[in-house]
């Protein structure tokens, strides 16, 4: 079943809908609201986490072996509008030039927010997706993480190298403290970027409430650069994901790019003829997506020329090309039910 097939009637219905996950013994369905705070009360604190709560000295700081790249990031609650109204008070789909009628579009999201050193000052708002984590090959990324959400959440990276303790994943009885960061607690993740980790990646919550916090907005882009490679002139980050009723409490499901839905609300990217352009693309929900840019094509590492690339859940890749085609272009997921449920945006080339 596609998320866009979840209509208001099935949302309000008592039964039906595919199983999304089971948390604390409770089943969560794709088409029903879920109370994540209530679900959290059914989750037992794992023994290593309980022991570390009593004796914080049990959590050993991981060694920093490379050039230190440091971040302070909190997970916070904030109101998030998937389709903000324009200056005329209308919620619009610019691609089809029509007003969107999907009812309420605001909910209380969970979002990552970057701070200055020592959690001194926030650097902007908490956002969906979270702040870009970037490093070079040879760096060690140190993320000081603080959970200000009402349920245990974490940060789990793709692409990097890390020890078992730095996984940021809930593993039931075997969970380490970094995989179960409780409300108002901190954890410091240390992730390595040795040779072979260069690429486009992402990070996301992988705590005991997984995947509900991710569906509430806890994910973000990550890039590890090869210092020998010329950086692109323009680069864009495209996160394909969805906001679903169990996470938002909203009646409708939304297919999104970077936290927003429908062309004009999703990011509008801009480049000039001759620019060396990089699109960093990742997908994080329960569906397969395809990334397509009208009027453009790029070369895969194997040499194949593509203009439409499939991504499964948790996949990521980079499309890089020299800009050669002016115009107002669409970029979008080519699964039609996703495209027409908001997974598209503008790419403007002058």
Q: Which residues bind Cu ion (CB under 5 A)?
A: 289, 333, 335, 338
Q: Minimum Å distance from CB 255 to Cu ion?
A: 6
Q: How far is the CB of 151 from Cu ion (least distance, A)?
A: 28
Which tokens go with 319? 């499309």
Residues 6+ apart with CB under 8 A from 88: none
| Rg (alpha carbons) of the chain, rounded to whole number | 20
Which is nearer to Cu ion, 10 or 344 (by Cβ)?
A: 344
C-beta of 319 vs 333, nearer to Cu ion: 333
213 C-beta neighbours (distance < 10 Å), count? 27
- Which is nearer to Cu ion, 166 or 339 (by Cβ)? 339
Tokens standing for residue 11 = 């949302």
CA–CA separation, 273 vs 16, rounded Å?
50
**What's the closest the beta carbon of residue 131 comes to Cu ion, in angstroms?**
24
Shorter beta-carbon distance to Cu ion: residue 234 or 334: 334
| Shortest reach from residue 345's CB to Cu ion, in Å | 13
- The position carrying tokens 């409780």 is 182
CB 213 within 8 A of CB 205: yes
Minimum separation from the CB atom of position 287 to Cu ion (A): 6
Which of residues 223 and 335 has its CB atom nearest to Cu ion in the complex? 335
Helix, strand or coil for residue 257? strand
8 Å CB contact between 117 and 154: no
Cis peptide leading into residue 5 (ω within 30°): no
């Amino acid at each position: 079943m596609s998320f866009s097939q979840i209509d208001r009637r099935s949302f309000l219905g008592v039964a039906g809908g595919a199983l999304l996950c089971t948390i604390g013994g409770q089943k969560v369905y794709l088409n029903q609201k879920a109370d994540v705070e209530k679900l959290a009360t059914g989750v037992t604190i794992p023994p290593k986490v309980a022991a570390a709560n009593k004796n914080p000295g049990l959590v050993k700081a991981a060694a920093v072996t490379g050039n230190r790249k440091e971040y302070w990031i909190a997970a916070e609650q904030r109101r998030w509008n998937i389709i903000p109204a324009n200056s005329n008070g209308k919620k619009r789909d610019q691609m089809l030039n029509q007003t969107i009628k999907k009812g309420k579009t605001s909910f209380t999201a969970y979002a990552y927010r970057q701070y200055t050193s020592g959690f001194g000052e926030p650097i902007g708002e908490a956002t969906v997706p979270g702040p870009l984590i970037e490093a070079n090959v040879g760096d060690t990324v140190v993320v000081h993480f603080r959970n200000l959400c009402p349920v245990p959440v974490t940060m789990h990276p793709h692409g990097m190298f890390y020890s078992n303790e730095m996984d940021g994943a809930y593993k039931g009885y075997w969970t380490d403290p970094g995989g179960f960061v409780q409300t108002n607690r901190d954890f410091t993740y240390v992730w390595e970027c040795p040779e072979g980790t260069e690429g486009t990646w992402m990070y996301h919550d992988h705590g005991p409430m997984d995947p509900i916090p991710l569906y509430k907005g806890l994910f973000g882009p990550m890039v590890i650069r090869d210092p020998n490679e010329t950086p692109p002139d323009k680069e864009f980050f495209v996160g394909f994901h969805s906001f679903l009723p169990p996470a938002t409490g909203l009646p409708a499901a939304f297919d999104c790019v970077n936290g927003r839905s429908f062309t004009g609300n999703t990011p509008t990217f801009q480049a000039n003829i001759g620019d060396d352009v990089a699109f960093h693309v990742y997908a994080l929900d329960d569906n397969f997506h395809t990334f397509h840019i009208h009027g453009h094509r790029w070369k895969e590492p194997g040499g194949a020329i593509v203009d439409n690339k499939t991504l499964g859940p948790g996949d990521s890749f980079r499309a890089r090309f020299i800009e050669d085609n002016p115009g107002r272009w669409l970029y979008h997921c080519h699964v039609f039910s996703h495209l027409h449920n908001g997974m598209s945006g503008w790419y403007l080339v002058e």
